[in-house]
């Protein structure tokens, strides 16, 4: 059955998957959502006998229904190849009573690789399918990981350019070094003087600037997005939750149909929304645990039904979660509002204006699958230390937030269902925070000294993504104010 995509902010005019991927964001500022969530058409037992690539095809074919089998399999095979350092692509690691789904074995050692390895191929295929002649300009805001993963995916891809905005003082030193050393004539990396929400809001404003869009079209350009607002990012993320369940089934860790819980460290809400979609496709998931850091706007939302971004923006050791406007939550709001675009638009208008909205009691009933909690900086560090001391497994700061929230959930509920925790980044990406959590004595070491020390402690080889940037020269040193973002784009494109 064909799946079409609607905007969360207006009725009518559904588009095909390839069109939604190309546009990134609807013209009305809404996000594209499938007109229905398809059910898995292979049994869990059948899927348990498949490779990651095969599972990805079985999931993605249900959403990207205007792609041919050859087109989709070609995109998958080109994405999930030797750039991942494990054959499993997303291996499960059992540690301290939970299963950590390691999503950081791609070329930039963060979970964003799982979707951003395939997005360029989906986008180029979509452009061909829709006879697009314009050069596609990928415009992205990043809180740390999306930027490098998108740059790695699109660098050198013919017919595309990519511009990444990141908060100048809001990412880890390793994250920044990964981005500013990126090669490729079609790439631009810009540090803004502001936080991630400023960068994300600025990008959305540029997307909705009709005058700029017309000017770009006249010069042979059109925008698209690599952020998780692009449905081409969200669909590939659904795959690894299906894969994780079928691995547990294949290894006889669970029975067919047994419910598991999924724990996700959450910032922009895309990763946990993908798990929600997987659950609604028929995957036996019980609770979806939404883990926040000190920027606990989502925890407060699940607890009270009120979303309020009017609070201090906290810089933490888990910077990819330092977000107060969780863009992908809009897709869930649209769904629990009964797919009422008018109601959703009203709430998003309140968020944009007053910075706060409240959902109805009936809408709150639609959140029953979710459990929200948070871990502060001390709790995050303590969880890194606990995991290292008890089982020798080293977590990054984001995964540690999820792991700490899972411990709170266990204490609160006594729920003994097996849990899959999304491990979203390699600890090598946040070495200083990780090593300081294990022992303060490491604080006097340099960044790359810490990398080598972490390798010894964790008994894990230093990833290529880190080795490559030890001596790599800085290619991008541009900075700008938030209100200069549009001019920066124009300058790069020569318009």
Active-site residue list:
112
DSSP class per residue in 463-475: PHHHHTTSSPPP-
**E strand map for 417-465:** 419-423
Residue 319 and residue 147 in contact, taking contact as beta carbons nearer than 8 Å: no
DSSP element (H, E) containing 275: helix 270-280
As a whole number of angstroms, the distance between CA 438 and CA 381 comes to 8
State the first-to-last Cα distance of the chain, in angstroms, to the nearest integer. Answer: 43
Sign of the dihedral defined by the CA atoms of residues 493, 146, 32, 481, in that order:
negative
Q: Which two tokens stand for residue 24?
A: 């990134």
In DSSP terms, 139 is beta-bridged to 163
Q: Which among 302, 311, 312, 355 is positioned nearest to 333, based on CA atoms?
A: 302
Q: Which among 112, 206, 122, 99 is positioned nearest to 151, based on CA atoms?
A: 112
Residue with tokens 């009936």: 362
DSSP 312: P
Three-state SS for 139? Answer: strand
How many C-beta atoms surround the C-beta of residue 85 within 10 A?
15
CB under 8 A, 24+ apart: contacts of 449-458: 454/394, 454/427, 454/428, 455/428, 457/388, 457/394, 458/392, 458/393, 458/394, 458/427
Residue 84: phi and psi, rounded to 5, are: -90, 140
DSSP element (H, E) containing 95: strand 92-95
Residue 221 and residue 495 in contact, taking contact as beta carbons nearer than 8 Å: yes
């Amino acid at each position: 059955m064909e799946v079409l995509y609607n905007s969360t902010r207006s009725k009518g005019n559904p588009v095909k998957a390839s069109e939604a991927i190309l546009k990134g964001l609807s013209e009305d500022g809404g996000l594209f959502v499938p007109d229905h969530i398809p059910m898995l058409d292979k049994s869990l037992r059948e899927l348990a006998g498949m490779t990651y690539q095969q599972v990805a095809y079985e999931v993605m074919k249900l959403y990207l229904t205007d792609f041919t089998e050859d087109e989709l399999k070609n995109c998958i095979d080109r994405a999930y190849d030797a750039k991942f350092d494990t054959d499993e692509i997303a291996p499960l690691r059992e540690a301290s009573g939970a299963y950590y789904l390691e999503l950081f074995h791609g070329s930039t050692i963060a979970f964003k690789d799982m979707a951003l390895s395939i997005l360029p191929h989906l986008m180029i295929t979509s452009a061909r399918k829709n006879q697009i002649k314009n050069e596609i300009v990928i415009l992205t805001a990043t809180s740390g990981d999306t930027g490098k993963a998108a740059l790695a995916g699109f660098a050198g891809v013919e017919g595309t350019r990519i511009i990444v905005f990141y908060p100048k003082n809001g990412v880890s030193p390793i994250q920044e070094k990964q981005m500013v050393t990126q090669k490729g004539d079609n790439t631009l990396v810009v540090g803004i003087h502001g936080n991630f929400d400023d960068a994300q809001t600025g990008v959305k404003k540029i997307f909705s600037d009709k005058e700029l869009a017309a000017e770009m079209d006249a010069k042979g350009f059109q925008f698209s997005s690599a952020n998780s607002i692009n449905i081409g990012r969200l669909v590939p993320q659904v795959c690894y939750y299906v894969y994780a369940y079928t691995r547990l089934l294949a290894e006889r860790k669970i029975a067919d149909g047994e419910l598991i819980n999924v724990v996700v460290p959450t910032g922009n809400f895309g990763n946990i929304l993908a798990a929600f979609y997987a659950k609604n496709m028929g995957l036996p998931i019980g609770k979806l645990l939404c883990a926040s850091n000190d920027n606990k706007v989502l925890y407060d939302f699940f607890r009270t039904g009120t979303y309020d971004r009017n609070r201090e923006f906290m810089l933490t050791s888990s910077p990819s979660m330092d977000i107060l406007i969780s863009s992908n939550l809009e897709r869930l709001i649209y769904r629990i509002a009964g797919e009422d675009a008018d109601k959703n638009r009203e709430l998003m208008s309140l968020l944009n204006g007053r910075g706060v909205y409240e959902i109805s009691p009936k809408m709150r009933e639609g959140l029953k699958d979710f459990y929200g909690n948070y871990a502060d900086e001390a709790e995050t560090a303590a969880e890194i230390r606990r995991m290292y001391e008890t089982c020798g497994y080293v977590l990054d700061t984001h995964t540690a937030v999820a792991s700490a929230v899972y411990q709170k959930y266990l204490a609160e509920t006594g729920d003994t269902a097996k849990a899959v925790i999304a491990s979203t980044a390699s600890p090598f990406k946040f070495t200083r925070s990780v090593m300081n959590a294990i022992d303060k004595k490491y604080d006097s070491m340099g960044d790359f000294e810490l990398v080598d020390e972490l390798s010894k402690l964790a008994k894990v080889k230093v990833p290529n993504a880190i080795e490559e940037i030890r001596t790599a020269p800085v290619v991008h040193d541009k900075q700008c104010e938030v209100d200069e973002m549009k001019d920066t784009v124009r300058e790069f494109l020569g318009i």
